[in-house]
Structures are given as C-alpha cells and as structure tokens.
Structure 1
Amino acid sequence: MPNATCSLCGHQADTEEAPLTWATSVENGRKLLYCDRCARDNVRSIEGKLDSAWW
C-alpha cells in the first residue's frame, strides 16, 4: 500500500496512514488528505466546506 499523500501539494507521509496532524476532507465522495502545512494554510476554506478548486 502506498504512503499517505497530500492531495494538494503531493507531500508523502512516512507511513500508510495519515499522521494525526493531517486534515481529512470528503469531496464528491472521494476522501482527500491534506498535510499539516496545507491544512494550516487553508483551514478557513476547509472548515467552510469549500471545494479545493476554490482555494
């Protein structure tokens, strides 16, 4: 199984599971992961449930 990968920047985690500091989002039925840096930079958009296309 591949390592967890950020859906925005492509950063890969060291493990298959996303670290606790990463954010998870569901868009159009797909589970997306965001690394801690991308999640921090876009926290308002994530909490506002905006599609990542709008970021």
Structure 2
Amino acid sequence: MTSPSGDRDRGAVTADDPALACARCGAPSDGPFSTWTCSVEGGVRRYFCETCARAHLRAIEGRIDSAWW
C-alpha cells in the first residue's frame, strides 16, 4: 500500500516509530503492531491499541471519527 504524497511532511507517525502510542488511551507500543488498528481521520493517521480497537470496532468499521466514540 502506498501513502499519500506529502504524508511525511504533515508529521505523520509511522508504525516504525518507537514513540507510537494509542490515540484513544495513550498506551505505548512495546512490540509488533500486528494487533493495532490504523484509522485515517481528517487526513491524519491514528493508531489504536488492540484493547481500544476491540472496544470500538463497529465505530471504526463505520468510519466514525474517534472524537464521537
């Protein structure tokens, strides 16, 4: 998958970033991101930990912005 042009210029966080934290609860990443979910909201990538992703799966699949849940 390719990322939109200029994505890095906007300060986007990548899954390789060791300082990655959940956008919902703030849990720090401490390993592989295979269980994390990425959502693009307003052109910004937001990463959610497994716990938050499971709790809000319907909202994520319905593309509802995280501000509403």
Aligned residue for 2:47?
Answer: 33
Separation (CA, whole Å) in 2 of partners of 1:24 and 1:2? 16
TM-score of the two chains, using structure 2 as the length reference: 0.70
Higher relative contact order (CA 8 A, sep 6+): 1
Is 1:22 matched with 2:36?
A: yes
TM-score normalised per structure 1 = 0.87
1:14 positional shift? 1.4
Taking only the aligned residue pairs, the percentage that are identical comes to 45
Secondary structure of residue in 2 paired with 1:26: strand
What runs of 5+ residues in structure 2 fail to find an aligned partner? 1-16
- Partner Cα distance (1:13, 1:36) in 2: 10
Q: State the partner residue of 2:61.
A: 47
1:3 touches 1:14 (CA, 8 Å); kept in 2?
Answer: no
Count of residue correspondences: 53
Larger Rg over CA atoms: 2
User: Tell me, which stretches of 5 or more residues in structure 1 are unaligned?
Assistant: none
1:4 Cα offset (Å): 1.7
Task: Single out whichever of 18-27 and 43-52 deviates more from structure 2.
Answer: 18-27
